[in-house]
Amino acid sequence: MRLKIVSVGEPVLRAASHGLSTEHILSPDIQQLIEWMRETVRDAPGVGLAAPQVGESIQLAVIEDSLEYQESLTEKELKERERVVIPFHVIVNPTLELLTEPNRTFFEGCLSLPGYTASVARAREVRVRCLDYRGEPQVIHASGWYARILQHEIDHLDGTLYIDRMQVQTFSTLENYTRHLKDRLPNT
């Protein structure tokens, strides 16, 4: 089942979501939600989806950056973004630690703001402590684009959107980004 992705303006996107117990994570309802979120993010397509984006105010997100999503990028773009294949996984109750300053700037989009993009500074390296889909503790050390995805999705769990962190003058429709900005603005 594909879930409806809520758009900016929905109150759930601006609220801090609540944590889940291991018992709740293992419940049939949450396990089913995880599977539906997996189908939804793949159908969108996107590299991450947080539970608030499907109307659930809980500390849960799914992440996957498949080779298929990277096919439209050049080798140079993949290298400068430090983008690699990230297998599907779930993060629950994450805590984020920035290991570098948030000074890596690239354009981001969001499934809850379809058709738009903006440049956002993020940390190149992060550590995330969380639970997985089985309620087992995990520590994720991530860099490059994976670190960006984690920061973006964890922001959703705290009620923050990329537009809160964007360089305002870079906000653009995807069409105008492709026509005017993609090759002119440096990603640093």
pTM, to two decimals: 0.94
Distance between CA atoms of 187 and 168, rounded to whole angstroms? 15
Q: Quick check: 44 and 66 in contact, CB under 8 A?
A: no
**Listed residue (183, 166, 160, 149) closest to 46, CA to CA:** 149
Report, as residue numbers or ranges, the catalytic residues: 153
Structure tokens at 163: 């537009």
**pLDDT for res 188:** 46
**Which of the two residues, 48 and 78, has the higher pLDDT score?**
48
Q: What is the sign of the dihedral through the CA atoms of 62, 12, 162 and 43?
A: positive
**Listed residue (45, 49, 57) closest to 15, CA to CA:** 57
Residue ranges per structural domain of the chain: 11-181
**pLDDT for res 184:** 58
Q: Per-residue pLDDT for 186 more than 60?
A: no
CA-atom Rg of the chain in angstroms: 16
CATH class for domain 11-181? Answer: alpha beta
pLDDT in tens, 118-166: 999 999 999 999 999 999 999 999 999 999 999 999 999 999 999 999 9
